[in-house]
Every structure is written in structure tokens, then in C-alpha cells.
Amino acid sequence: MNSILVTGGAGFIGSHTCLSLLKKGYTVYVLDSYINSSPVPLQRISIILEKENVKIDDKLTILKGDLRKESDIKKIFEIALKKNKPIEAVVHFAGLKAVGESNKKAIKYWDFNVLGTISLLKVMEDYDCWNIVFSSSATIYRPKKNSLMDENHELGPSNPYGVTKFVIEKMLNDAFRSNQKWRIINLRYFNPIGAHPSGLIGEDPLGIPNNLFPLIMQVAIGKINEIKIFGKDWPTKDGTGIRDYIHVMDLAEGHLKALEFLINEKPQICNINLGTGIGTSVLELIKTFEKINNVKIPYVFTGRRKGDNAFVVADNSLAQSNLNWIPKMNIEHMCRDGYLWQINNPNGYLK
Ligand code: NAD
Ligand code: UFG
């Protein structure tokens, strides 16, 4: 499998994955509407590869288009056919991801995430393309006590965003049941953070971020005054929430391993966690960021956030055994690379 369509390839995880795919020699087609991104990260990818002496020639093709429109998806499949490098697999990132917004605008989330995926699967069938890696999320699990979650952990998303990921997984299961040509992997990401070590590409949230790590980065450069820590009485070692933070470059590598697995194994659908298996508390993340980057991150404690959880950490043994994927980066790497990206790009991709 050499030619890959990356939906949402201009986004945070998509851009880092495109970089890894191109570096490995894949031909990459990107379809993105830029609703939550811009063309800049894709330009920066070429700069990074040039610096690393990796020639990509015409291996990167970008089309601005909306996944909810079958005609846009067909356009990119046709471009690939004309280049004589038909799309053999899809890595499907495109979608909306803000939990808070999804609570207020549920139908918008069903439209972008579910309808977008339906259009994609229809066109894939039309073009005889049966391989897909889907960006799912740990948010579909119902966290219980402080134990690692494997792929058989009880499901139960608590917000419309999570529900869309859950129903897309169900839909993909039905797709496989109805036609066993499909090869499908649902990758359930835990908390992707960090940036490419060049500091040229990274996470660029629109407006004020909601998630902890982008907030820490913005406090570090003085854009935001302090972190509000949501609760200090969680049943954890220091009373603050614990998450499984994973470096975005390790996550990108997980997609390459997933594609290799798809091609080498029999047609199937499987769910695989991508996390490090290591839990880090809010306070630990802040302290590590301060130490590694020699900056001060002021914080105050406030009440718990509605619907929040104490402990969300992956059991990643399936990714290790099936995909032969082992994360290489630790929290210090994540804090170092994230900060470099943020100080070099205080306003994200906007100059
Ligand atoms: P992102 O918003 O940075 O990237 C998503 C990309 O999809 C953006 O470039 C956006 O413009 C594009 N897009 C959205 N709707 C589109 C449409 N209809 N047509 C074409 N393009 C469209 O998000 P990300 O952090 O890179 O996340 C990528 C995927 O991973 C998403 O599906 C997200 O739900 C999932 N995920 C993310 C996280 C996380 O914490 N970042 C965790 C778990 C799962
Ligand atoms: N936190 C704070 N203050 C903040 C923001 C977050 O204390 O201002 C805490 C939270 O309480 C939690 C931790 O930092 O303990 C991480 O919170 P995030 O919002 O960064 O991440 P979540 O794990 O809550 O959720 C994220 C994404 C979801 C995704 C999920 C995957 O927002 O979309 O990770 O597990 F599904």
C-alpha cells in the first residue's frame, strides 16, 4: 500500500502523520476544508523534509474540500487515478473535536463527524478502496476506578462528540459485517500533546484552548495568566486528574504501524488504544513543563469540571503486540517540543 488519502491532513495530528508518511516514502493525498486549520502546516512539512534531505517530488497532493460532499471526495480519488497512483487506504482524521461545543451544537457534530464518514465510506466503496484507519478516542470509554483501560473496557461516551465517535465505530462494524473486503482499524487515542521537534508544526487551537496542554503552553508565553486546575480532591496521588499524554510523533508512528498491519493481516475490523500506559497528573505535567523549559506556570485550584474523570490511562498491550508499536517519547520530550513550537509560533500559524 503506497498511496494514502489523509482526511483532515492539515490538522494537528493529521499534519504530523502526513510528515511521517512522506518521510517513509508514501504518496499522500490530503483532503481538508481548513475549518479548523490552514494550508500552512502542509507547507511547513515540505520545509522540514527539505531540511532533512528527504525528496518528496510530487508525492504530496492537497485538495481543499468538504468531506460531507461526496463530489469533493470523488475529486481527490479521480486526481489519484489520473496520476496513476490510486488511493489504496484512507487515514480518516477529519472531524470536529471540541467536547464543550458538541454539548451546545450536537447536530453540527453529527453532521461533520457522522455524515462526513458516511460520504467517505460510500465513495471508498465506489472506488474499490477497502482500507481505513479511523481516529477514534478514549472518550468513548466509561472510566471507572483507577485502572488501565483495555479495548474491552465498558463503552459509554458522556458527550455528543464522544457519541459520534462511538456510532462511527458501530457503523464501521456494520460495514465490515456487510462486506468482508474491509480492513478497518479504530485507533482510540488518549491525550495527544507535544509537537514535531523542529518547532515548525504543532497544535494551533482557535481562540482560547480548552485542553490542559495548550493552556500550559499559552501560560508559558504569557498569553494567559494562569492555569485553573479543575479540582484538588480527586482520588489520585496528588488530588489532581490523571491522563495518559502521548507525544504526537509517537501517535503519527502508530498510524504507519496500523497501515502496515492492515495490509499484512487478513481483512478484519479491530479497535486499538494508542496511549503510553503511563498516567500523569495535572500537577506533574505543570511541574515537568516548568523544570524542562525553565519557565513558571502559575496556577490556582478551582472546582471540578462537569463530567470530568479522575483517571484515564490506556492499557496499550494490544498496540504493542499487534502493531509492534512502542511509544518512544516521555512527558519531558512532550513538554520540550510543545514549548519550542509555542515560543517559535506565539500566534500559531498566523503571523
Ligand atoms: P484538528 O481539528 O486539528 O484536525 C481535524 C482536521 O479536519 C482539521 O484540519 C479540519 O479543518 C478538518 N476537517 C474537519 N471537518 C472537515 C470536513 N467536513 N471536511 C474536510 N476537512 C475537515 O484535530 P486533531 O486534534 O488533529 O484530531 C484529528 C482527529 O483525531 C479528529 O477526528 C479527532 O476527533 C480525533 N481525536 C483527537 C484527539 C485530540 O485530543 N486531539 C483525541 C482523540 C481523538
Ligand atoms: N484540566 C484542568 N484545567 C483546565 C483544563 C484541564 O485542570 O483548564 C485538567 C482536567 O480536569 C483533566 C486534565 O487537565 O484532569 C486533562 O484535561 P483535558 O481537557 O486536557 O483532556 P481530557 O482528557 O479531559 O479530554 C481530552 C479531549 C477529548 C478526548 C480525550 C481523550 O478533550 O476530546 O482527551 O481521552 F476525547
| Residue of 40, 97, 114, 213 best suited for mutating to test ligand 1, as the one with most atoms within 8 Å of CB | 97
pLDDT tens digits, 203-214: 999 888 999 999
Tell me which residue has cell 488518549: 190
231-281: pLDDT as tens digits: 999 999 999 999 999 999 999 999 999 999 999 999 999 999 999 999 999
Instruction: Find out whether 15 and 49 touch, Cβ atoms under 8 Å.
Output: no
What is the Cα 220 distance to its own chain's centre?
23
Q: Does domain 3-344 bear CATH number 1.10.260.40?
A: no
Which ligand number lies closest to the CA of residue 10? Answer: 1
Of 109, 141, 161, 339, the catalytic one is 161
β-pairing, 191-193 vs 3-7, is: unpaired
Each residue's pLDDT tens digit, 174-217:
999 999 999 999 999 999 999 999 999 999 998 889 999 999 99
Task: Report the alpha-carbon distance of residue 147 to residue 242 in Å, rounded.
Answer: 11
C-beta of 158 in contact with ligand 2 (< 6 A): no
- Which cell numbers hold the place of 156? 459509554
| pLDDT band, very low/low/confident/very high, at 34 (cuts 50, 70, 90) | very high
Question: For the CA atoms of the chain, what is the radius of gyration?
Answer: 19
Instruction: Give me the pLDDT at residue 312, please.
Output: 97
What mean pLDDT value characterizes the chain? 97
Residue 146: predicted pLDDT: 84
Alpha carbons 73 and 201: distance in angstroms, whole number: 26
Residue by residue, DSSP assigns 231-270 as: -S-SSSSSSS-EE-EEEHHHHHHHHHHHHHHHHHSPS-EE
Q: Are 241 and 286 in contact (CB under 8 A)?
A: no
| 161 catalytically annotated | yes
Bridge partners of residue 149, in order along the sequence: 314
Sequence-distant contacts of 212-217: CB under 8 A, at least 24 apart? 212/243, 212/282, 212/285, 213/245, 213/285, 213/334, 213/338, 216/285, 216/286, 216/289, 216/297, 216/338, 217/338, 217/339, 217/341, 217/342
Mutate to test the pocket of ligand 1, among 5, 7, 13, 99 (most ligand atoms within 8 A of CB): 13
In the chain, what are the domain boundaries? 3-344
Nearest CA to ligand 1 atom 30: 135
Check if 110 has its Cβ closer than 6 Å to any atom of ligand 1.
no
In angstroms, the CA 96 to CA 66 distance is 12
Q: Is the dihedral of CA 106, 191, 262, 90 positive or negative?
A: positive
Cβ–ligand 1 distance for 254 under 6 Å, the answer no
The pLDDT of residue 351? 62
Task: State if pTM tops 0.85.
Answer: yes
